[in-house]
Amino acid sequence: MAAGTISIVPTSAISGEGIPDLLLLLAKWSQKTMVEKLMFREEVQCTILEVKVTEGFGTTIDVILVNGTLRKGDQIIVCGMHGPIVTTIRALLTPPPMKEIRVKGSYEPHEVIKAAQGIKIAAQGLEHCIPGSGLYVVRPGDNLEDAKEAVMQDMSSVMRRIDKTGEGVCVQASTLGSLEAWLEFLKSPAVNIPEQLRLALQFVSHQGVGHVASIHLNKKPIDFATKGQEVSISIESTKPDEQQKQQYGRHFDKDDELLIVLKRFQLDLDRFDNGDEGSVDPAIVAKGQDLESSKV
């Protein structure tokens, strides 16, 4: 590829033609222009992609090993929700050739794996591991406390950006990157955070939903319940055709705070209503508005 020349690789999403050529061009061009970055280094560079429960191994993490070597029995440190997690690798697993690591199936165990590779790691105490953070290996002679501090730097930098002096909202994200994006979005002056809402009794209407089919107290059936008891009840609709349609949520009263869950679709819908129609497909918005209007 000469300087000033742009290579175009035609591809087809139907037949798959052109994909091998595109991958070959990408590999060749990367080797020419990114030689130093593509050189193998012994220093471990590893990023956590996902935390999941794998049958036969318990809680595992899917990681991308960019540089370095991982061995079964290595002591590792990962970023956790409540602080650094120090554990030992019990198993290094990879999917069979030509299979994705996300696809459920059998895995091949390894004693040693060198970069670059997608790996599933089985170890104890990974339940609260944070996707998007790094993984550190503690070698003989390394300072454990320094490694703990290093692994928590990403989380600490995010937490320092949160203002805890006043009232705010609760933000939940699947990865550190998503959390950072949410924090940047909430910093915008255009995002209005409403005050706490409560139930207005004068606007409450009552509607029959069915009859009580059974009552349970401590997982045992009883015939009646008295005031002050916490019981679970089964409600059956009086109309058989509506039996499968009705769903009942948690109990709340006038003293409970009402919270709203803000999702990505609702954000796109709000932008569309405010005139920024280019940010979302109008067909999707129309479908969402139909769904919203059909809710009781």
Q: Where residue 128 falls among pLDDT bands split at 50, 70, 90?
A: confident
For residue 262, pLDDT beyond 60: no
Between 205 and 122, the more confident residue is 122
Which carries the bigger pLDDT value, residue 201 or residue 155? 155
Domain boundaries, the chain: 45-157, 206-251, 260-294
Top pLDDT among 46 and 276 is at 46
Q: Residues 218, 224, 227, 228: what is their CA dihedral angle, to the nearest 10 degrees?
A: 0
Q: Tell me the percentage of the chain whose pLDDT exceeds 90.
A: 6
What is the average per-residue pLDDT within 143-169? 77
Residue 28 CA to residue 146 CA, distance in Å, equals: 39
Note the pTM of the prediction, 2 decimals: 0.54
Q: What is the pLDDT of residue 158?
A: 73
Top CATH class, 45-157 = mainly beta
Q: What is the pLDDT of residue 203?
A: 63
pLDDT tens figures, 18-40: 999 999 988 888 888 887 777 78
Residue 50 pLDDT > 80: yes
